[in-house]
A and B are shown apart, each in its own frame.
Chain A
C-alpha cells in the first residue's frame, strides 16, 4: 500500500501551483526572456476570454511580458478568434495541450504570473477589470 501511495502521490502534485518552478522546456515554448511572464490561457469558445483579452492588449508593467496560450484544438478557429479580436499580444498555439496540461488550470481564462521561472500567482476566471486586478497582483508580488 505504501508503495502504491508513493507511486501515485507525484501525480497529485502534477499541476503547477504557486511556488513551483516551471519546467525550462515549457519556458522555452513560451518564448519570453522577460523577468516576469504573465501567461494567459484562453480559447475561442470561451466567452469570458473574449471579454478579457482586449483589456490585456495594451497592458504594460515593468519587466513584464504577456504571453497568451491559445488552447484551441482547432488551430484555425483560434486564429480566426484572435483576428476577430485584433489581438497583437504574443501568442503561443497549444492545440495538443502540451503546455496547458503542465499547468492544469481548473478553467479558462487562467492567468499564471511567472517570475524568474517560478509561479508566483494564479488568477482563474474572468474579471471585469482584469488590467487593474493584474496590476494589483504584480504590485503585491514586487513587495
Chain B
C-alpha cells in the first residue's frame, strides 16, 4: 500500500507546474505573447464581438508580464 502511495505521489509530482516568478516573465512580456499580436485583425474583431455581446469595453489586454501595476 505504501509503495503504491509513494508511486502515485511520484507520478503526480511529474505533473506539478512551477509557474514563473514575476521577475522571470521577460519572455511572457514580449508582444508575441499578446493575444492577436500576429494578426491585429484578430483582436480587433474579437473586441468588437465582446463589445456587442457584453455591452462593455476594455479589460481585454494584460499589462506587461509580472508587473504589479495598478
Q: Which A residues are within 8 Å of any B CB, using their own CB?
A: 41, 43-49, 71-74, 77, 97, 100-101, 104-110, 124-127
* B68→A125 contact, CB < 8 A: yes
A100 to B24, CA, bound (A): 10
Our pick among A101, A104, A107, A127 for the contact of B66 (Cβ within 8 Å) is A107
* B70→A46 contact, CB < 8 A: no
Majority secondary structure of chain A interface residues (helix, strand, loop or mixed)? loop
Our pick among B21, B63, B69, B70 for the contact of A101 (Cβ within 8 Å) is B21
* A126→B23 contact, CB < 8 A: no
Please, could you name 10 A-B residue pairs with CB atoms under 8 Å apart, sorted by A?
A43-B66, A45-B30, A46-B64, A72-B26, A77-B26, A97-B24, A107-B67, A125-B67, A125-B70, A126-B67
Our pick among B22, B29, B66, B70 for the contact of A126 (Cβ within 8 Å) is B70
